[in-house]
Chains A and B, each alone.
Chain A
Amino acid sequence: MELTRRQLLALLGAGGAAAALGGCARDLAAADVGAPGFGDGAGGTVEMWCRSDTVNGVQAVVDAFHAAQDRVRVRLTPIQNGQYVTKVATAIRGGRVPDVIDIDDIYSTMFAFRDVFTDLTPLVEDLALGDALSPGHLALATKDGRHYGVPFLGDFSVLFCNTELFERAGLDVDEHTASFDGILEAARAITALDDDTYGWSFPGNASGALGFTVQPHVWATGTDLIAGEIGDQRGDVAGNEALRRTLDLERTLWDEQLVPPGCFADDASRWSADYVAGRLGMFPGGYGVVAPNASPELLDRSRVVLLPGPDGGRAFFDGGDNLCMPAGGKNPEGAAELIRFAVSLEQQARMPDGFYSPVRSDVVTPDFEAEHPLVTPTLASLDSGYAPTTLAYNLIYNQQDGPWLRMFRRAVFDGEVDAAMDEAQTTYDRILRQAEA
Chain B
Amino acid sequence: MSAPAVTRPADAAPARTTGPRRPARRHGTLTHPARTGLLLVAPAVAFVVVFVLVPLVSAVGISFTNLPLIGPWRFIGLENYASVLTDPAFWRAVGYTLLYTAIVTLPILALGYALAVVVRSNRRGATALRTIFFVPYVVGLTTLSFLMLLEAQPNSGMVNVVLKALGITDGTTAWLVDGPLATGLLCAMVIWAVSGLTMVLLMSGMQGIPREVYESAEIDGASWWVRERSITIPMLRRTIAMTVVLSVIGSLLAFTQFYILTQGGPGSDTTTVVMAIYRRAFVQLQLGAATAMSLVLVVITGLVTAAQFWLLRERS
Contacts and interface: CB of A to CB of B under 8 A. Distances in A.
A115 B267 contact: no
A116 B71 contact: yes
A21 interface: yes
Q: How large is the interface on B (under 10, 10 to 19, 20 to 34, 35 or more residues)?
A: 35 or more
A86 B282 CA distance: 6
Interface string A7-19: 1100011011101
B267 to A, nearest CB: 3
Contacts of B71: 114-116
B6 A21 contact: no
A370 interface: no
A12 B54 contact: yes
Contact of B268 (A3, A392, A406, A437): A406
Given A93-B70, A434-B284, A406 B266 contact: yes
A22 to B, nearest CB: 10
The winner among B72, B83, B266 for most chain A CB atoms within 10 A is: B266
A265 B284 contact: no
B177 A205 contact: yes
Contacts of B279: 395, 399, 401
Interface stretch (B56-64, B161-169, B183-191, B249-257): B56-64
A90 B68 CA distance: 10
A20 B284 contact: no
B6 A3 contact: yes
Contacts of B141: none
B159 to A, nearest CB: 13
Contact of B177 (A19, A93, A409): A409
A75 interface: no
Interface in A390-421: 392, 394-395, 399-401, 403, 405-406, 409-410
A405 B267 contact: yes
A12 B49 contact: yes
Given A89-B69, A437-B286, A17 B265 contact: no
Given A86-B282, A399-B283, A4 B61 contact: no
A202 to B, nearest CB: 13
A144 B130 CA distance: 66
Looking at chain A, what size class is its interface with the partner chain? Answer: 35 or more
A10 to B, nearest CB: 10
Given A17-B58, A17-B61, A8 B6 contact: yes
B8 interface: yes
B308 interface: no
A403 B89 CA distance: 11
Contact of A21 (B67, B83, B266, B268): B67
Contacts of A341: none
A245 B183 CA distance: 33
Contacts of A25: 72-73
B292 to A, nearest CB: 12
B83 A394 contact: no
A114 B70 contact: yes
Interface in B276-310: 279, 282-287, 289
Interface in A13-40: 13, 15-17, 19-21, 24-25
Interface string A101-130: 000000000110011100000000000000
B4 interface: yes
A2 B282 contact: no
Interface in A193-212: 204-205, 207
A392 B6 CA distance: 50
Contacts of B172: 261
Contacts of B89: 427, 430
A400 B283 CA distance: 12
Contact of A86 (B53, B66, B69, B265): B69
A261 B69 CA distance: 42
B69 A394 contact: no
A364 to B, nearest CB: 37
A3 B279 CA distance: 42
A8 B61 CA distance: 17
B244 interface: no
Interface string A152-183: 00000000000000000000000000000000
Nearest to B53: A12
Contacts of A19: 54, 58
A249 B251 CA distance: 41
A1 interface: yes
A231 interface: no
A4 B270 CA distance: 48
A395 B284 CA distance: 7
B71 to A, nearest CB: 4
B177 A16 contact: no
- Residue picked from A15, A19, A116, A400, most chain B C-beta under 10 Å: A400
A409 B179 CA distance: 12
Contacts of A435: 284
A65 interface: no
A431 to B, nearest CB: 8
B282 A4 contact: no
B284 A21 contact: no
B277 to A, nearest CB: 13
A93 B70 CA distance: 6
Contacts of B55: 16
A5 B6 contact: yes
A262 interface: yes
B121 to A, nearest CB: 46
Nearest first, the 3 A-B pairs at minimum CB distance are: A17-B61, A401-B264, A406-B267
23 contacts: A1-B4, A3-B5, A3-B6, A8-B30, A13-B57, A13-B60, A15-B54, A16-B53, A16-B61, A17-B61, A17-B62, A85-B282, A85-B285, A86-B282, A205-B265, A207-B265, A392-B284, A394-B283, A395-B279, A399-B264, A401-B275, A401-B279, A437-B289
Given A16-B55, A19-B58, 17 more contacts: A4-B9, A4-B28, A7-B6, A15-B54, A16-B61, A21-B62, A24-B62, A24-B67, A85-B285, A89-B69, A114-B70, A204-B177, A264-B177, A399-B279, A401-B271, A409-B267, A437-B286
